[in-house]
Structure 1
Amino acid sequence: MNVRQVLEQLKEGKITQEEAVLLLKDMKESVVKTTQYNNGVVLVEMADVQNKNMFSKELITGLIRTFEEINQNDSCKVVILAGSRNYFACGGNEEGLLELYNGTAKMTDFGVYELPLKCRVPVIAAMNGHAIGGGWCLGMFCDFVLLGSECSYTCNHMRYGFTPGDGATFIFKEKMDINVAQEILYTGKTYKGFQLAEKGVSLTIVSKKEVLTEAKALADEIAQAPLKSLILLKEHMTQEIREKLDQVVEKEWENQKKTLSNNPIVLKNILGAFDAKEPISQLVPLNSVKKGKPIFWIHGDEGELDSLYSIAKELEYPVYGLRIVKYIEHEPRFTNIQILACDYVEQIKKKQSKGPYRLGGYSIGGLIAYEIVRQLQMQGEEVDTLLLIQAPNAEKIMESRKSDYDFLLQGVNRTLIGRNQENQNELSQVLIKPDEATGEDSESYLARLIEIGKERGLSLSISEGELWDMFWQRFQIKKHLFEMILKLLPLPHPNMVNCYYCTSSTEEYYGALESYFMRDTPIQLGLMDADKYWNELMDKVVTKEIAATNQFTAMYEPQFREQLIQYCSEVYNSQKKE
């Protein structure tokens, strides 16, 4: 029983108000609605209107649950599967496609497309709206298929750049002429129902407004037969398809692993197919140089470029930095390094459309820069230079985690160090010790850190409220950069990029400042074995070690910065100016 039915029974006096409240408690309106008629016909409507009946988890679970109930329903003889408004079904949503791309899910996990096939009674697809990708496949696996002449139909996997799945390579050949089926699958074109009729497709094609009427008329005829006979005939008529389907789908998935998983071109097509997103990153100039071949540097672990400005302004080439301007909760681009890098590649190409490219990254930005190299190489582009500054070992980053309190403490104290770069010997009088600040939760702890920091020169021009917003944003970015999947994939051409790895010579991570950066968790081991790590990923890695008191604050030490500027100049000046 759904919400509408509960309210109707309440209105008709069949249940009391108290009973209605109990029934409605914790009940969510399903995106799959069922209506059963007295003659054994059950109408199943996919009704996620807002999301155009894309295969969200809600729609998938709703369909699975509905067909399970139908298979247990001895009064159901035939099913009509229909869409709502202008859409029958639109296949995978962005979340689902990204899970396939990341390898965290595979096409065969749910098998939505085969629900009508495995239903014990006949299923009629009343495709009274547009059907896209897996949505069209779902309809084609029904026993009877009715299309709307004005509606659009496409099996668009190849338009994204990956091979078809959802049983498409099997069922389209079963239901259509082989030549038409191949055209549909190879081209990924969109067809109106009347265009398919002109091609002689042997499916019932009527006007959109007549689809459901025709489906109900057919269902009424079928429902006149005994249930047992319908079940036996359905089992017999679909036996050959069911026996072959599993093997076909496994082969489809093997092909999709080669064409879909971790393919940056496909990723770009997936992201581009959905509505425009709120920008999370921004490409900004780091110096005033206009002429020459540009250099692109990626932000540090808080998404900011603060420590890179002083380096870039001393170089003779235009340097641009990518920074994160906004953390957005549940944003897919913060879950996987490949997805985030795809966003950055697009911005870089707006500034420089063709290679060779010169890239760099600081801290975690070095990992992202490496992934950008990989994606550019897969697109056939050349990358001259990859400059990695204090770039960690990704495997060590994934092994170690900090508490929220440590992230906040480090963020405020590192800013205090930045404010006192010329007075390194007096840092002990400025930095905040963990036991100086208390708070019941992360928010109140940060407020106390800022209150103390203001007294020690954190900022004279920004209010505590503005500082809280700034540090909280940076904290969210850093936390999620550390939590996202940072596993790096091999370069297509590891011998075609010159990598310059610059790090501090000391093995001390926090050094004498350790007591100012740790409250709850062990020392971060991100730079351990980093040199070895990068040498395993690329063939041509030159390592430069520069003296510093510790690894964590090296970029704020004047001597380290001076030598880093000199080294960057040597690297870029060794290449031909353009």
Structure 2
Amino acid sequence: MDRSSPENLILVTCQPDGIALVTINRPKSLNSLTKSMMTDLAKAFKSLDADDSVLVIILSGSGRSFCSGVDLTSAEDVFKGDVKDMESDPVAQMERCRKPIIGAIGGFAVTAGFEIALACDVLVASKGAKFMDTHARFGIFPSWGLSQKLSRIIGPNRAREVSLAAMPLTAEQAERLGFVNHLVEECELLKKAREIAAAIIKNNQDLVLRYKSVINDGLKLDLGHALTLEKERAHEYYNGMTKEQFKKMQEFIAGRGSKKPPPSKL
């Protein structure tokens, strides 16, 4: 099912297997974002989050760029608006989205594009991809989380260099630093993203949503409070299970245990 924006700058396709594809589709401008595109992207994630048929979302860009940031030819229109308006904020809607989001990063992920990439739960990047923060170069104050998230992933000293010197990171560096999960050839980008999505879909979907939530919510806390949060949610989860659900769990575990392991090749 197609839910694309009227100008087809944000393409949304829902597939029967539970995967939704969201594509930033302005390749002639390296997928730079206008105000209306930002709003449409936010609406897309909000809509997909509410759709029970959607289990995993894959986000990509068309052409040779993932997203080159905000279209600076309309900078005043973008930045003079209310940056605290969550309804038109794509990163806020991605962070609110309960479904796993896989970013398929090909080409450039620059500034706002970098921030959108960091809002994904899993990142797959092509070998030619580059991540760059140009906020300081162009006098743009970050408002989608780059100043806070990157330092927590790669460490404050390295993050300061990346942001203050506008130092690009290659996909290989991003993988070594830990915010890219998989590095693939460009032609394999969406295939790898789909493989990860399929692996997620095979699991218990209620627990997938709960697990994503407890990981992301716990990251906002110190370790002690995060562990308490995990205990509280585990208690809530098990208290809400019926005898029938416990029986199904036991039957599933017993069934897995009875399967013979494949013969060793050694």
Q: Structure 1 length as normaliser, TM-score?
A: 0.35
Q: Which residue of 2 aligns with 1:132?
A: 110
Q: Which residue of 2 aligns with 1:142?
A: 120
Q: Which residue of 2 aligns with 1:158?
A: 136
Residue pair 2:123, 2:179 contacting (<8 A) in 1 also: no
Give the 3-state SS of the residue equivalent to 1:108 in structure 2: coil
Which of 207, 220, 239 aligns to 1:229? It is 207
Which of 168, 171, 174 aligns to 1:190? It is 168
Rate the CA distance shift 1:139–1:3 in 2: closer, same or farther, 3 A.
Answer: closer
Give the 3-state SS of the residue equivalent to 1:107 in structure 2: coil
Rate the CA distance shift 1:3–1:170 in 2: closer, same or farther, 3 A.
Answer: closer
Give the 3-state SS of the residue equivalent to 1:125 in structure 2: strand
Structure 1 CA distance, aligned partners of 2:50 and 2:70? 28
Aligned positions of 1:421-436 closer than 5 A: none
Q: Deviations over 1:192-242 (max 9, x none)?
A: 223444x54452233322222211110100011233222211221111456
Higher relative CO (Cα under 8 Å, sequence separation at least 6) belongs to 2
Residue pair 2:3, 2:13 contacting (<8 A) in 1 also: no
Residue pair 2:3, 2:11 contacting (<8 A) in 1 also: no
Deviating more after overlay: 78-87 vs 49-58: 49-58
Structure 2 CA distance, aligned partners of 1:70 and 1:46? 15
1:85 equivalent in alignment to 2:63: yes
Residue pair 2:35, 2:77 contacting (<8 A) in 1 also: no
Rate the CA distance shift 1:65–1:130 in 2: closer, same or farther, 3 A.
Answer: same
Which of 87, 108, 115 aligns to 2:84? It is 108
Give the 3-state SS of the residue equivalent to 1:166 in structure 2: coil
1:220 equivalent in alignment to 2:192: no
- Which residue identity is paired with 1:203? V
The alpha carbon displacement at 1:81 in A equals: 0.7
Q: Which residue of 2 aligns with 1:67?
A: 45
Equivalent residues, number: 219
Q: Deviations over 1:144-194 (max 9, x none)?
A: 112222122201101113443321111112332433322211211223223
1:203 equivalent in alignment to 2:197: no
1:171 equivalent in alignment to 2:149: yes
Q: Which residue of 1 aligns with 2:234?
A: none
Residue pair 2:12, 2:22 contacting (<8 A) in 1 also: yes
Percent of paired sites with the same residue: 21
Q: Deviations over 1:270-328 (max 9, x none)?
A: xxxxxxxxxxxxxxxxxxxxxxxxxxxxxxxxxxxxxxxxxxxxxxxxxxxxxxxxxxx
Structure 2 CA distance, aligned partners of 1:3 and 1:175? 33
Structure 2 residue runs without a partner (length 5+)? 223-266
Structure 1 residue runs without a partner (length 5+)? 5-26, 245-578
Aligned positions of 1:496-535 closer than 5 A: none
- Which residue identity is paired with 1:175? I
The alpha carbon displacement at 1:3 in A equals: 9.2
Structure 2 CA distance, aligned partners of 1:147 and 1:200? 13
The alpha carbon displacement at 1:28 in A equals: 3.0
Q: Deviations over 1:370-426 (max 9, x none)?
A: xxxxxxxxxxxxxxxxxxxxxxxxxxxxxxxxxxxxxxxxxxxxxxxxxxxxxxxxx
- Which residue identity is paired with 1:66? A
The alpha carbon displacement at 1:131 in A equals: 0.8
Q: Which residue of 2 aligns with 1:41?
A: 19
Give the 3-state SS of the residue equivalent to 2:13 in structure 1: strand
Aligned positions of 1:17-36 closer than 5 A: 28-36=6-14
Q: Which residue of 1 aligns with 2:75?
A: 97
Rate the CA distance shift 1:213–1:236 in 2: closer, same or farther, 3 A.
Answer: same
Give the 3-state SS of the residue equivalent to 1:76 in structure 2: coil
Give the 3-state SS of the residue equivalent to 1:55 in structure 2: coil
What RMSD over aligned residues (CA atoms) do the two structures have, in Å?
A: 2.6
Residue pair 1:177, 1:201 contacting (<8 A) in 2 also: no
Q: Structure 2 length as normaliser, TM-score?
A: 0.73
Aligned positions of 1:95-494 closer than 5 A: 95-99=73-77, 104-109=80-85, 110-197=88-175, 200-204=177-181, 205-241=183-219
Structure 2 CA distance, aligned partners of 1:132 and 1:196? 13
Rate the CA distance shift 1:32–1:99 in 2: closer, same or farther, 3 A.
Answer: closer
Query: Larger radius of gyration, structure 1 or 2?
Result: 1
Structure 2 CA distance, aligned partners of 1:161 and 1:195? 26
The alpha carbon displacement at 1:114 in A equals: 2.7
Rate the CA distance shift 1:140–1:108 in 2: closer, same or farther, 3 A.
Answer: same
Residue pair 2:38, 2:89 contacting (<8 A) in 1 also: no
Q: Which residue of 2 aligns with 1:432?
A: none
Residue pair 1:140, 1:175 contacting (<8 A) in 2 also: no
